[in-house]
Amino acid sequence: MAELTYRDAVARGIAQEMERDERVVFLGEDVAKAGGVFKATVGLYDRFGPKRVRDTPISEQAILGAAMGAAMTGLRPIAEIMFSDFLAVCFDFIANEFPKTRYMTNGQLGCPLVVRTGNGAGSRFGAQHSQSVENWSMMIPGLKVVAPSSPVDVVGLMAAAVRDQNPVIFYEHKSLYAVKGEVPDGEIVDTLGTARILRPGRDCTILALALMVPRAMEAAETLSAEHGIDCEVIDVRSLVPLDTQTILGSIARTGRLFTVEENPRLCGWGAEIASIAADEAFYDLDGPIVRITTPHIPLPAADNLEDIALPNPRRIVEKILRAMG
């Protein structure tokens, strides 16, 4: 068992899969000798060499185009798009090319690749470099979408993503890169489409993703200690496939549902889960579903304004107290 940062877990997860399968290659801007702009891929170039760890021009379209061609001809590429905001530059590949290849060729060609990208706010990068955009890819049929919140999940879900036969968008939260956690020795392989109950509870269910997971956990501890409200906290982890069995089972036990989302409120991932809960767990609910989100605004660069915009433990506590009466 080793204690790794979330940042180091990225490199370990990629290295595990590159060591296991020589078809796995890695490409992106400044990912080789420089080790990535967030230093999440340090050591991979020295370990696997320039044929398998490749720097690219500053062109998101070129990166994903090369990755798609590699995937269609037998490789297992991992492509880095530095900031998730930049997925907009190459969105044709995300929306029209990767997810439709297998379908449009009647299974003659696949597109097994991973696009990993730095997502989310909290680092004072401003409106064009701080968005939480996992809902952009969640809406596209044919993509799988994951967003780990801990180092061990980074390693295990990276392995699952690389081994999957479908394109996977892998959202790494920039504000979690320095967070440390215990990671077991040896090979780690997780399962896409599985949520994880981090804190069992009886009074309400809180769903969270990525950076919002530790914030939801902190709020749950405060609610328990100071107000006697016992919250069940679930790390959603995978948006596509979505673990509805775990989510609906929790609602059946607690009777209340809260989502904590960093994405802007309009069309966020929690809205889809709220719809599913209303359809399939209506009679289990003892009150309205409450979504705790970032407002529908461009994110400010000023630290105090960015902190106000994002859901934080205090706001989570206040919203749950108000809803629970």
Q: In what order do the strands lie in the sheet with 290-294?
A: 196-199, 231-235, 204-208, 257-264, 290-294
Q: Give the β-pairing of 231-235 and 204-208.
A: parallel
Residue with tokens 């044929």: 51
Compute the CA torsion angle 317, 319, 322, 325 (nearest 10 deg).
-70
CA–CA gap between residue 25 and residue 32 (Å, rounded): 12
Residue among 146, 237, 177 nearest 8 (CA): 177
Q: What angle do CA 296, 297, 299 make, to 5 degrees?
A: 130
In sequence order, the β-bridge partners of residue 238 are: 146
Residue among 122, 20, 130 nearest 78 (CA): 20
Token pair for 29 = 């801007």
**Residue 300 DSSP symbol:** P
Q: Write b or e for each residue in 23-33: b if 16 or more Cβ atoms lie within 10 A of its Cβ, otherwise e.
A: bbbbbbbbbbe
CA–CA gap between residue 173 and residue 175 (Å, rounded): 6
Residues catalogued as catalytic = 129
Q: Please spell the DSSP secondary structure of 115-170, one letter per residue.
A: EEEEE-SSS---TTS----HHHHHTSTT-EEE---SHHHHHHHHHHHHHSSS-EEE
Residue with tokens 């920039």: 174
State the Rg of the chain over Cα.
Answer: 19
